[in-house]
């Protein structure tokens, strides 16, 4: 990026809401995210409303409105008392009715903020946090899908009428990295709250990026261009970076930037003009006479607010402060609400050592869940938000199906903390718990792993070992100040106890008896 210039970015993010049916018609759509619309026969998720047949009337999907309000409450937006729907008139072949039902003057949420995190200097260090303001979010319907073949174009209305929340930011973003961070933060908020799945590969999250440039220190907003339908993270990042460079080149060459809508070609790595930008009056907006305005009462808002989880970055700070967890472990937990709830339940069952509880979950439990999924062949593709081309990953076995419950996991940590078993043995016990779903204590007893803390018995073993001729050398070495010599004594002691002597006690008693 040429120095001296600043990139100004505002995003419009379209997110398919998690609803069981379409936004204005009782036609099944996502079934709570389990149904991949791509796998369904084209033009089967339709009815007279979706196809806009004469006389068909839309009815607002309550869940779609609730999900929109929940989003607003999650980002601290204002929920206006009254919201209504407008017709945005245009003809697109992927929309069956010459207009889209959307919201213009009275959107469902106003304002709000999203906290973002920029990549840190290293993976294990928290990056800089920033607040990005939202302008509003409005609830509208999705369009269908066109497929262009050599001989013509095919249209599929399965997606038409799906509930879409368009989230519009203020022009607060200053780099492609910040734009990516915003998408990641939004996705984490929406997924943890169960508002949307945001799977970009399934088209559940799409983004238009508005970009302008200005010299550093300038406060005016210069003419921007809008890049339409960016549907991968790398697309968002690369399109913005390219477009900023292009605009700087234009300005440097003394040309003016035209306000226009542009497309992104991932193959050439360039943006290209689509059309000059429409203004609002081009769309002939007017309130949809088929839909009543809707009131969202304060009571309804409180009811919905009670269903929201803690915001991920708030939760992360709390885990680091309250439980003293390292940043890396909290980064694994916070994007996954059920994992957080699992951790908190386990930490509650054994409050003395949350770090050990967290480590057991982050290492052994997540590892076992992933391995179980591979064995089951239950792998399904998922999106990783790494900024790389969207990669397929393995979906682990869900926590709901996890054979080890939080209190059982806590029980294992407790046994380790009380030195009943060693950390090494804990791994073996955990594997058995995962395989059988039984409690740690039962497995420890069955395997005869319980460490001996019988001081008298340990003393006797130690005295026997010290009396061996082979012990003379390490004893004198230890007395001469060689700490390591103690280990050559501990080996035979542990062996004589069949591995059951509590290592801490062995160390204590050995030191006492040797002098």
Chain contacts with ligand ADP (rule: CB under 6 A): 8-12, 168-171, 210-212, 221-222, 224
Backbone angles phi, psi at 480, to 5 degrees: -80, 5
Q: How far apart are CA 188 and CA 209, in angstroms?
A: 20
Q: Please give the Cα distance from 171 to 261 (Å, whole number).
A: 17
Q: CB of 287: closest distance to ligand ADP in angstroms?
A: 18
Least Å distance between CB 275 and ligand ADP? Answer: 13
**What letter would DSSP give residue 336?**
-
End-to-end CA distance of the chain: 70
- CB nearer ligand ADP, residue 99 or residue 342: 99
Question: What is the phi/psi pair of residue 513, to 5°?
Answer: -80, -25
CB of 282 to ligand ADP, least distance (A): 10
Place of tokens 């967290």: 358
**Between residues 246 and 427, which has the closer beta carbon with respect to ligand ADP?**
246
In total, the chain counts a number of residues equal to: 515
CB of 177 to ligand ADP, least distance (A): 16
In whole angstroms, the minimum distance from the beta carbon of 211 to ligand ADP comes to 6
> What b/e sequence results for 414-452 when a residue is b if at least 16 CB atoms lie within 10 Å of its CB, and e otherwise?
bbbeeebbbeebbeebbebbbeeebbbbebbeeeebebb
Measured from the CB of residue 8, what is the shortest distance to ligand ADP in angstroms? Answer: 4
Question: Is 252 buried (19+), middle (13-18) or exposed (0-12) by CB count in 10 A?
Answer: exposed
Decide whether 111 or 309 has the Cβ nearer to ligand ADP.
111
Cβ nearer to ligand ADP, comparing 241 with 369: 241
Distance (Å, rounded) from C-alpha 201 to C-alpha 156? Answer: 18
Cβ 351 to ligand ADP, closest distance in Å? 45
Nearer to ligand ADP, 66 or 166 (CB): 166
CB of 232 to ligand ADP, least distance (A): 19
Nearer to ligand ADP, 190 or 369 (CB): 190
Sign of CA dihedral 232, 237, 238, 240: positive
Evaluate whether 477 touches 485 at the Cβ level (below 8 Å). Answer: yes
80-109: b (≥16 Cβ within 10 Å) or e? beebbbbbbeeeeeebbbebbbbbbebbbb
Q: Which is nearer to ligand ADP, 88 or 311 (CB)?
A: 88
Contact present, 202 and 216 (Cβ < 8 Å): no
Q: Which is nearer to ligand ADP, 192 or 247 (CB)?
A: 247
Distance set, CA 402 to CA 342, 398, 436 (Å):
10, 7, 11
CB of 266 to ligand ADP, least distance (A): 22
CB of 311 to ligand ADP, least distance (A): 22
Rank residues 43 and 222 by Cβ distance to ligand ADP and give the closer one: 222
Is the separation of the CB atoms in 132 and 116 below 8 Å? yes
Which residue lies nearer to ligand ADP by CB, 209 or 334?
A: 209
Cβ closest to ligand ADP, residue 143 vs residue 413: 143
Min separation Cβ 200 and ligand ADP, Å: 19
Helices assigned H by DSSP within 389-454: 406-417, 423-436, 440-446
Buried b / exposed e over 191-221, threshold 16 CB at 10 Å, is bbbbbbbbbbbbbbbbbbbbbbbbeeeeeee
Nearest residue to ligand ADP by CB is 10
- Residue nearer to ligand ADP on the CB measure, 86 or 439: 86
DSSP state of 352: T
Pairing relationship of beta strands 260-265 and 225-230 according to DSSP bridges: parallel
CA torsion 398-404-405-410 (nearest 10°) is -130
Q: Is 152 helix (H, G, I), strand (E, B) or coil?
A: coil
CB of 57 to ligand ADP, least distance (A): 29
């Amino acid at each position: 990026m040429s120095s001296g210039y600043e990139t100004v970015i505002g995003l419009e993010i379209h997110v398919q809401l998690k609803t069981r049916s379409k936004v204005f018609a009782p036609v099944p759509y996502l079934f709570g995210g389990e149904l991949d619309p791509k796998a369904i026969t084209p033009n089967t998720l339709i009815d007279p409303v979706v196809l806009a047949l004469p006389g068909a009337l839309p009815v607002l999907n309550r869940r779609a409105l609730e999900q929109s309000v929940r989003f607003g409450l999650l980002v601290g937006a204002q929920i206006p008392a009254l919201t209504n729907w407008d017709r945005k008139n245009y003809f697109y072949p992927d929309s069956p009715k010459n207009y889209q039902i959307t919201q213009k003057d009275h959107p469902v949420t106003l304002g709000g903020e999203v906290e973002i995190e920029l990549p840190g200097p290293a993976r294990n260090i928290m990056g800089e946090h920033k607040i990005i303001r939202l302008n509003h979010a409005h609830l509208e319907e999705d369009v269908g899908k066109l497929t262009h073949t050599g001989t013509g174009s095919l249209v599929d209305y399965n997606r038409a009428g799906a509930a879409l929340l368009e989230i519009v930011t203020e022009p607060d973003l200053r780099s492609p990295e910040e734009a990516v961070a915003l998408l990641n933060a939004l996705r984490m908020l929406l997924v943890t709250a169960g508002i949307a799945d945001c799977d970009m590969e399934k088209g559940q999250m799409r983004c238009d990026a508005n970009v302008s440039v200005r010299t550093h220190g300038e406060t005016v907003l210069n003419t921007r261009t809008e890049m339409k339908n960016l549907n991968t993270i790398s697309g968002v990042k690369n399109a913005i970076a390219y477009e900023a460079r292009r605009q700087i080149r234009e300005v440097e060459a003394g040309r003016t930037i035209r306000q226009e809508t542009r497309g992104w070609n991932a193959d050439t790595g360039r943006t290209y003009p689509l059309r000059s930008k429409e203004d609002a009056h081009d769309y002939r907006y007017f309130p949809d006479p088929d839909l009543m305005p809707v009131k969202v009462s304060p009571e309804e808002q409180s009811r919905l607010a009670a269903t929201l989880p803690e915001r991920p970055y708030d939760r992360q700070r709390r885990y680091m402060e309250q439980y003293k967890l390292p940043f890396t472990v909290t980064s694994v937990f916070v994007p996954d609400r059920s994992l957080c709830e699992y951790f908190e339940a386990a930490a509650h069952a054994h409050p003395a050592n949350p770090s050990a509880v967290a480590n057991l979950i982050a290492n052994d439990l997540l590892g076992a869940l992933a391995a179980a999924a591979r064995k089951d062949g239950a792998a399904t593709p998922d999106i990783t938000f790494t900024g790389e081309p969207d990669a397929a990953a393995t979906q682990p076995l869900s926590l709901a199906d996890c054979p080890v419950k939080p209190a059982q996991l806590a029980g294992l940590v407790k046994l380790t903390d009380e030195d009943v078993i060693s950390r090494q043995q804990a791994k073996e016990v955990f594997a058995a718990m995962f395989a059988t779903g039984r409690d740690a204590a039962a497995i420890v007893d069955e395997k005869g792993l319980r460490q001996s803390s019988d001081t008298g018995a340990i003393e006797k073993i130690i005295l026997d070992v010290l009396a061996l001729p082979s012990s003379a050398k390490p004893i004198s070495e230890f007395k001469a100040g060689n700490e390591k010599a103690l280990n050559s004594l501990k080996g035979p002691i542990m062996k004589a106890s069949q591995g059951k002597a509590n290592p801490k006690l062995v160390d204590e008693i050995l030191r006492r008896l040797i002098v």
